[in-house]
Amino acid sequence: MIDGQLIEIVGGATAAGRVDESTDRTSQRILDAAVGEAAAVGLQRITVEDVVRRAGVSRMTVYRRYPRRDDLVEALVRRETQRFLAAVADAIDTVADPHEGVAEAFIAAVRFATQHPMLRRAGQFESAPAADSVELLKLGSAFIANYIHGEAPGTPTQQVRWVADMFARLFLTYISMPPTDPNFGDEAELRRFAHEVLTPMVERASQNGVA
């Protein structure tokens, strides 16, 4: 059973990574500009003024939606998290065999991170702020735990939660310090890594977890 916060986060994202249409186009234009600015100078260094200039809108247009810089950054992180989780969920939905789901989810996550301009910069130049990392870790861990738990009754077991937390931490580490082995640019190698390392851990947690 997916908890309320996770439903809210994933529910805000639609198939193929599209953002909820209830969010107006001007807000999307502002957030798109914020992504571009974060890719250029880093998330920690973006300013409202620079985003205003890049978006081509008035300062008041931005401040009406995001009164503080922190509000803008929070909206940006939330939207990109929605897109990330939607991309992973879409990949899982493409396979009927649960055994393949872990590999598809892992590959989709790596693909999203390596193609996303803001995340690509973070992996090359900087780490996410501690508060953002904690929130991303929490959401990612909950998402993975609920995927592993699947349709089983009750809530994810302790072993499932442990594995999910480990996977989330592993992925955040991989984003900040990309490995050379497995090679993130080799999808076949990523798939083999998922099948030989990640999938067995998921299967053991699903079968042997203790609530």
Task: Give residue 180's domain range.
Answer: 4-18+77-208
pLDDT of residue 3: 40
**Position 23 in a domain:** no
**Position 34 in a domain:** no
**Position 29 in a domain:** no
pLDDT of residue 20: 47
**Position 63 in a domain:** no
pLDDT > 60? residue 127: no
Q: Please, what is the angle between helix 25-41 and helix 117-125, to 10°?
A: 20
Q: Max CA-CA distance within the chain? A: 57
pLDDT of residue 138: 81
- In this prediction, residues 87-110 reach a mean pLDDT of 86
Q: What is the pTM of this model?
A: 0.74
> If 0-12 CB within 10 Å is exposed, 13-18 middle and 19+ buried, where does residue 194 land?
buried
DSSP string, 54-90: HHT--HHHHHHH-SSHHHHHHHHHHHHHHHHHHHHHH
**Position 82 in a domain:** yes
Count the domains in the chain.
Answer: 1
Name the more confident of 171 and 131: 171
Residues 176, 180, 185, 189, Cα dihedral to 10°: -120
As a whole number of Å, the end-to-end CA separation of the chain is 14
22 pLDDT band, cuts 50/70/90, is very low
**Position 36 in a domain:** no
